[in-house]
Amino acid sequence: MDSVDLEVIRSAASWVKAGRGATLVTVVRTWGSAPRPVGAMLVIRDDGHVIGSVSGGCVEDDLIDKVRERKLAAGRPGVITYGVTKEQAERFRLPCGGTLVLALEPLSQDSQIDTLLGMVERHELAARFLDMETGATRLEPGNWADVLEFDGKVLKTVYGPRWRLLIIGAGQLSRYVAQFAQALDYHVTVCDPREEFADEWSVPGAPLNRGYPDDVVQQMNLDGHCAVVAVTHDPKLDDAALLEALKSPAFYVGALGSKRNSDARRRRLRGFDLSAEEIARLRGPVGLNLGCKTPPEIAVAILAEMTAVRHGVTVPELVAPEKAESAAGCVIAEG
């Protein structure tokens, strides 16, 4: 779950603890050009205060009015659909015939929202089950394959980081990559066996593994929800991770370095048991070519490219300034 949805859970837990009425709203189905994806959430306080979004502003005002006036989910969970008719689509400004099905849950001390928040803040995956008839809930440990499920009777929602990122190297750039990635729904692991870097690592929620990179990649059992970014500038470490990561189902594998260094890396990789197709998966220079120079800018470039790949978007190549090479999609002046 991203940082916006985490804020929804935090607010819901705070309001329930304070004895305020609160209704959790979750997108459970969409058709057409829905503004927000399945699983998007908002929470409405009894006075109409709202955190989160389920439509980008299209239906929120109507939801707030209905919940505040106790026309929806007054005593037990309910479902509401927006956009079925042409009149509704025009009234709520839903794009291109988009339709939203929303589940509404009145929260109480029995809703286990505080327990759920604790699991998420510990970066654990949690599966939550809501009985739409009784309002009863239960929590179970989640796994990476869990998705939202709704059959009209039971709503299963999944909370916590749904994506994983392995960063090879615990230097300054890694700190920014880790922090930005956490805001984008990634559980971050950092690998660095070098004591001088590992001893200084201190990003909350991003554990450090001091093992050798190829061993760590194998131990993580990477799947299609995983990304690997190597940023040590040490071929012994970066290449060891890449040799395993490029053979895995990871959706994104990248390595920091100029175009010249990246070409040299590909030549080295051809000497190992990697196919041409596997080597072609390597993103190097890593990141979008944004003309950036500082570690925070380079981190933005890396996460921007990861986001585009994750959503299947092809980003046109941006032209770098003359007499410069790109590393991490950014500018490094030639000396």
Q: What does the alpha-carbon distance between residue 280 and residue 104 come to, in Å, rounded to a whole number?
A: 46
103/258 Cα distance (integer angstroms): 49
Q: Look at residue 327 in the predicted model and tell me its pLDDT.
A: 55
Query: Residue 284: what pLDDT?
Result: 93
Q: How far apart are CA 99 and CA 333, in angstroms?
A: 50
Q: What is the mean pLDDT of each run of 10 residues along the chain (335 residues)?
A: 80 96 93 77 93 83 85 84 68 63 94 93 87 95 84 93 91 97 91 96 94 96 91 95 96 95 96 95 94 93 95 71 51 39
- The CB-side HSE value for 223 (13 A sphere, CA atoms) comes to 7
Cα-atom radius of gyration of the chain, to the nearest Å? 23
- Between β-strands 186-191 and 208-209, what pairing exists: parallel, antiparallel or unpaired? parallel
Please state, in angstroms and rounded to a whole number, the distance separating the CA atoms of residues 169 and 227. 14
3-state secondary structure of 142: coil
CATH number for the domain whose boundaries are 163-333: 3.40.50.720
What is the pLDDT at residue 334?
A: 35
Cα–Cα distances in Å, from 161 out to 25, 51, 122, 145, 227? 20, 20, 10, 12, 13
Whether the ω angle into residue 285 lies within 30 degrees of 0, i.e. cis, is yes
Give the sheet arrangement for strand 208-209, strand by strand: 208-209, 186-191, 163-168, 226-230, 252-255, 282-283
Residue that has been written with the tokens 């929303």 in this structure? 102
CA torsion, points 164, 168, 171, 172, in degrees to nearest 10?
A: -40
CA distance 194 to 172: 14
Domain boundaries, the chain: 3-159, 163-333
Nearest alpha carbon to residue 46 among 13, 82, 70: 70
Residue whose tokens read 């459970």: 28
> What is the SS3 assignment for 46?
coil
- Per-residue pLDDT at 143: 77
120 is written with which tokens? 């998420």
Residue 25 makes CB contacts below 8 A (sequence gap 6+) with 41, 42, 43, 44, 52, 54, 63, 102, 103, 104, 105
Residue 115 has what pLDDT?
A: 95
